[in-house]
Amino acid sequence: MTAGTLPPLAIIVVEDNEDMAQSTAELLSLFGCRVRIARQAGEVPGLVAAEPVDAVLIEPLLPGAWDVVRQLRQKEKPPFLVAITCYGNERARQQSADAGIDIHLVKPVDPALLIDLLRRNAPPATPK
């Protein structure tokens, strides 16, 4: 992977595992993204209200995560929504689809796959 191959996306990483949140944020920052971290799903609406967002990477097992996903999906221009979780069974994938998740990924996520998905699916809608 080479840096600079993503548009300057505004991304929120919603993850309660500090190491996972920081490493994901650092990876995305290397590719020119503006990244904010939320440790709880309930923080997301305030972050979205403060600054528009192009993509949200969310751990759907966090309390309130599905409600937040449904709220984001109702926006006029919803962000690209990615579930990143340890569950990859059909039930978990269906739950993501029912809530409005665009892509369901299973941890650990291949960084090249994540960057490629963002490149292809989350064109920047926000000003710098």
Answer yes or no: is 126 within a domain: no
Residue range(s) defining the domain that contains residue 42: 10-120
Closest CA relative to residue 71, chosen from 46, 39, 36: 46
Taking the C-alpha atoms of residue 73 and residue 26, their distance in angstroms, rounded to an integer, is: 26
CA separation for the pair 68, 101 (Å, rounded): 11
41 domain-assigned: yes
- In-domain check, residue 71: yes
Question: Could you read off the pLDDT of 66-114 as tens digits, one per residue?
Answer: 999 999 999 999 999 999 999 999 999 999 999 999 999 999 999 999 9
- Does residue 29 sit within a domain? yes
Q: Is residue 73 part of a domain?
A: yes
Q: Which of 2-6, 13-17, 79-83 has the lowest mean pLDDT?
A: 2-6
Which two structure tokens, joined as six digits, stand for 73? 């999906």
In a domain, 92, yes or no: yes
Kindly report the CATH number assigned to the domain that includes residue 65.
Answer: 3.40.50.2300
Total domains in the fold of the chain: 1
pLDDT for the residue numbered 6:
84
Is 1 within a domain? no
Residue 62 lies in a domain: yes
